Amino acid sequence: MEPFVMGYRLLQRVLLPPSFRRAYGEEMISAFRARLRDERERGGRIAAGALVLTELVDLLATAAREWRAAWSSRRRLRSDGSSFLQAVRPGGGGLFGSLPAEAGRVLRSWSKRPGFVVATVVTLALAIGANTAVYSVVHAILLEPLPFPKPDGLVYPRHTARGQGLEDLSNTDALYFLYSEHNRVFEDFGLYLSRRVNLTGGDRPERVPALFVTHEVLETLDVVPALGRLVMEGDNRPGAPPVAVLDHALWQGRYGADPAILGRTIDVDGVTREIVGVLPADFRFPGTDADLFLPFRFDPAHVAAGDYNYDAIARLKDGVAPADAEGDMNRIIAMLPEAYGVSRRFVEEAGLSARVIPLRDAVVGDIGGILWTLTATVAFVFLIACANVANLFLVRAEGRDRDVALRSAMGASRWRLTRQFITEGTIIAALGGGAGDGEPAPRRESHRLDGHPGAQARGGDHGEHGS
């Protein structure tokens, strides 16, 4: 919508008398924007395009009327009128004198050769539309910060075991307890596991995406619940009552946004859970979808040091870089043999070490390079489109030699002739830009953080932690 408004503002500056524009210009723009929005909501782009043409005709009529009024007023004030007439006569050098007439002449010439208008507007619309669409995606995914407080401190901890030929490993519950107790670099460090679960206890059974989490996961993202509370540390202890936190969309869609939902029970994979909280409407967990957030119930005395099934999310302390965090995690990895009886020789031969990836890079993944390449491609296509439109204008200019010579013989100045082409180009650019106006892209939420390929498949093996 904004390209239409920008074009309307530009035409105002070109067509309307300065005094009239200063008095009523912003009011006209506001009214145009409101009408354009209403027409677009009611009838889509076709209705919006029709409104733009109607407003263009009205603007030309208003410009002609106001310039006539200005001319008459000026003649009354100055009986000779010589300076003003010099500005508006066919050979005059005034900047705004006969622009409404120029615009009218342009529109009449288009009615004789509509193919030129269609070709130029369509070419510009396709090129501008492609660039707008791609830039919207690039801005949403690559340029906008993650929608969490202090997003630069969020990281995605991983591991490698190059001695075993493994370049990417997730996390274990054993390492989670060690990192939580001994780290010097994280404000919070939490584990989560994505699974699909069977949800019953309402009108219909559903299979929905869920995240089993430790209490630090939502705390790391500084989430403030819309209702109730989040998963707490006590919920992760063995024997704790089973609870659930609902995503806002599930709360609205399945439970009708019932404000009395807290305390009700649902059945998740046959386990009865109490609903203790509802997440805010604007919250999306980075990299995956989840309708339910369910607490792990880890027992520190019964952990699997070699079970690399869990993803992690953490927040670095202020001033700590990912490389510093990797060094601290490697220090803690050396504690595995003593803490959990893992063979020291195995840890050394496997070459187990930490990787700390900024969460933004983990969410974007490999798509970043693809998007930048696509941006460069559509920018080049836009340059080609501009060259094609310039060629169309040159061909049209060559075919108008007779018209230009006739107007020049009748006293039109070089500036006056140039202004006709500028007016035509301005209107073409406004129409092409408006037709190529794209809808904003949705926020990033499609790239999954499936760092460990087996995590989803083996999620069911950890029922003792998620029950």
- Angstrom distance (rounded) from CA 390 to CA 360: 41
> What's the confidence (pLDDT) of residue 260?
93
> What's the confidence (pLDDT) of residue 295?
96
- Angstrom distance (rounded) from CA 106 to CA 352: 73
Q: Domain ranges in the chain? A: 2-144+368-435, 151-365
Q: 242 pLDDT band (50/70/90 cuts)?
A: very high
Phi, psi dihedral angles at 135 (to 5 degrees): -65, -35
- 326-364: pLDDT as tens digits: 999 999 998 888 888 777 887 888 888 999 999 888 877
Q: Out of 221-225, 415-419, 444-448, which region has the weakest mean confidence (pLDDT)?
A: 444-448
- 281-313: pLDDT as tens digits: 999 898 788 999 999 998 888 887 778 889 999
- Angstrom distance (rounded) from CA 125 to CA 133: 12
Q: Name which residue leads in pLDDT, 420 or 379.
A: 379
DSSP 8-state assignment for residue 106: H
Q: Residues 118-146: what's their mean pLDDT?
A: 78
- 170-215: pLDDT as tens digits: 999 999 999 999 999 999 999 999 999 999 876 788 999 999 999 9
- 40-86: pLDDT as tens digits: 777 776 777 777 777 877 777 787 778 777 666 655 554 444 443 44
Q: Residues 425-429: what's their mean pLDDT?
A: 79
> What's the confidence (pLDDT) of residue 85?
40
